[in-house]
C-alpha cells in the first residue's frame, strides 16, 4: 500500500531526477532516494549516459551503511540489462533492500517489466506509482522514442501577435526578445538534434549550435560548460545545394545531409570527405519528391537520437505537419504586429471544414521577457 509518506519520498526522487535534465540523453532522467527507519540514508540521480544510474549513485551516497531492509524510491523502473553499466535491479537485490517503489515502469523493450520481475524474484516487495504525467514532463522524448521507435519532434519558432515570421523582405532579426533567444538555447540543450532545411541554411547561414554564454542561469547551474555537447544538425537538402562551407559544418557537432533514396532503403555515405558530416539518403513519400520524415525519425532513433528540435521556415514545417511528424509545438509570441503582407508563420492548405482542424493541447504558458512562450502537445 502506497502511503502519503511514500508520496513525499517519491517527489524527492523526481526532484533529484530533474538535475540530469540537460545531460542524460539518450538515457532518461532518473532520481533515487533510499530510506531506512524513516530517514533518508542515500540519494542520487543519473548524471549522464555511461555513468552509474541513480540507484547506484544513491547506494554510494549511503556511505557503506547497511541497506538491509531499506525502502528504495526510484522515479523509473530499475534497469534489468547490461548496457554501459550493470543492471540496477540486481544491485538492489544484492543489497538486500526490502521494498522498491517505482514512479512508472520503463517502456524500453530491454527493461519493460523485467527489472520489476528481477526484484520480485529476489524477494523484494515492489509497488508502482503510475505517475505517468510527471514522468511524461520529465522524460517525454525518451518515453515516446521507446514506445514508437522514432525520435520525438518539437517545432519552435518566434512570431508576432498577428502570427508572422518575418517582414515581406524576409527581415526577422529580431522579432522576439533577448530572453526568448536565451530560452531557445535552453531548448537546444534539451534536444539531441536540430532539423532544418537547406533553404533555411542557405538563406540565413545559421550556426545552430549551443552558445553557453547565452544560456539561462537556471540551466548552467545543472549544466557545466565542460558538459556541452553540440547537437547533431540534420539538414534536408534533396536538391544537393549545400557546399560544405556553411557555418553548420564548422561550429561543432556532426551534420547529416538528407538526400532522397532511389530505393526503399536508407543509405549512408560520406559528405565531401568531411569526417563530421555524412549524407543520409531517405526514401520518398509515395508519389512525391518529399523525404519520408517517419523513416528519417526512425533512423535517428536507431542512432540513439531521442529528441529533435525543428528550426525552419513555414513551408518545411508544413510538410512535417502534413506527414504527422510533429509531437510538440513551441511558439514565442512577441508584442509586435508585422502587417498583412508579412510572411505567415503557418502555411496550412486544404482546410475547408472546421471539423478537419486539429486540436492541440496547451501544456504551458510562460512569460519570457516581454514575450509569451506557448507550448502545445500534438496528439
How many whole angstroms separate alpha carbon 20 and alpha carbon 296? 27
| Angle at 209 (CA atoms; ends 204, 214), nearest 5 degrees | 100
Across 87-245, where does the E strand assignment appear? 99-102, 125-128, 152-159, 164-166, 193-197, 232-236
C-alpha grid cell, residue 354: 472546421
CA distance 246 to 194: 15
CA distance 325 to 95: 44
Main-chain dihedrals φ then ψ at residue 345, nearest 5 degrees:
-70, -35
Length of the chain: 379
179 exposure class (CB count in 10 Å sphere: 0-12, 13-18, 19+): middle
**Active site (catalytic) residues:** 55
- Classify each residue of 263-294 as buried b or exposed e, where b means 16 or more C-beta atoms within 10 Å of its C-beta: eeebeeeebeeeeebebbbbbbbeeeebbbbb
CA dist., res. 203 & res. 262, Å (int):
28
Which of these, 273, 245, 270, 247, lies nearest to 257 by C-alpha position?
Answer: 270
Total Cβ atoms within 10 A of residue 366: 12
Cα 311 from Cα 317, distance rounded (Å): 9
Amino acid at each position: 500500500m502506497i502511503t502519503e509518506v511514500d508520496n513525499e519520498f517519491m517527489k524527492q526522487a523526481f526532484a533529484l531526477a530533474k538535475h540530469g535534465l540537460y545531460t542524460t540523453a539518450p538515457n532518461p532522467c532518473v532520481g533515487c532516494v533510499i530510506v531506512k527507519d524513516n530517514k533518508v540514508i542515500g540519494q542520487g540521480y543519473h548524471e549522464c549516459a555511461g555513468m552509474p544510474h541513480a540507484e547506484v549513485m544513491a547506494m554510494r551516497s549511503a556511505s557503506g551503511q547497511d541497506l538491509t531492509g531499506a525502502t528504495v524510491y526510484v522515479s523509473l523502473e530499475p534497469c534489468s540489462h547490461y548496457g554501459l553499466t550493470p543492471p540496477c535491479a540486481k544491485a538492489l537485490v544484492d543489497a538486500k533492500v526490502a521494498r522498491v517503489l517505482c514512479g512508472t515502469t520503463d517502456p524500453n523493450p530491454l527493461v519493460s517489466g523485467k527489472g520489476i520481475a528481477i526484484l520480485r524474484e529476489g524477494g523484494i516487495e515492489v509497488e508502482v506509482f503510475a505517475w505517468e504525467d510527471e514522468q511524461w514532463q520529465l522524460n517525454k522524448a525518451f518515453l515516446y522514442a521507446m514506445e514508437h521507435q522514432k525520435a520525438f519532434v518539437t517545432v519552435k519558432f518566434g512570431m508576432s501577435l498577428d502570427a508572422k515570421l518575418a517582414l515581406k523582405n524576409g527581415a526577422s532579426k529580431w522579432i522576439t526578445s533577448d530572453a526568448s533567444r536565451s530560452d531557445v538555447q535552453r531548448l537546444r540543450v534539451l534536444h539531441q538534434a536540430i532539423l532544418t532545411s537547406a533553404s533555411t541554411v542557405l538563406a540565413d547561414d545559421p550556426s545552430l549550435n549551443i552558445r553557453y554564454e547565452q544560456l539561462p542561469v537556471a540551466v548552467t547551474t545543472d549544466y557545466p560548460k565542460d558538459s556541452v555537447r553540440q547537437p547533431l544538425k540534420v539538414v534536408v537538402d534533396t536538391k544537393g545545394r549545400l557546399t560544405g562551407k556553411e557555418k553548420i559544418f564548422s561550429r561543432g557537432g556532426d551534420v547529416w545531409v538528407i538526400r532522397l533514396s532511389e530505393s526503399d532503403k536508407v543509405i549512408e555515405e560520406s559528405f565531401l570527405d568531411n569526417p563530421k558530416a555524412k549524407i543520409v539518403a531517405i526514401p520518398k513519400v509515395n508519389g512525391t519528391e518529399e523525404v519520408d520524415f517517419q523513416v528519417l525519425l526512425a533512423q535517428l532513433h536507431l542512432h540513439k537520437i531521442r529528441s529533435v528540435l525543428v528550426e525552419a521556415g513555414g513551408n518545411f514545417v508544413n510538410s512535417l505537419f502534413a506527414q504527422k511528424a510533429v509531437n510538440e509545438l513551441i511558439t514565442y509570441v512577441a508584442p509586435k504586429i508585422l502587417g498583412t503582407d508579412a510572411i505567415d508563420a503557418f502555411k496550412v492548405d486544404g482546410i475547408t471544414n472546421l471539423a478537419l482542424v486539429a486540436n492541440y493541447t496547451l501544456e504551458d504558458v510562460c512569460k519570457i521577457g516581454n514575450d509569451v512562450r506557448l507550448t502545445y502537445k500534438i496528439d
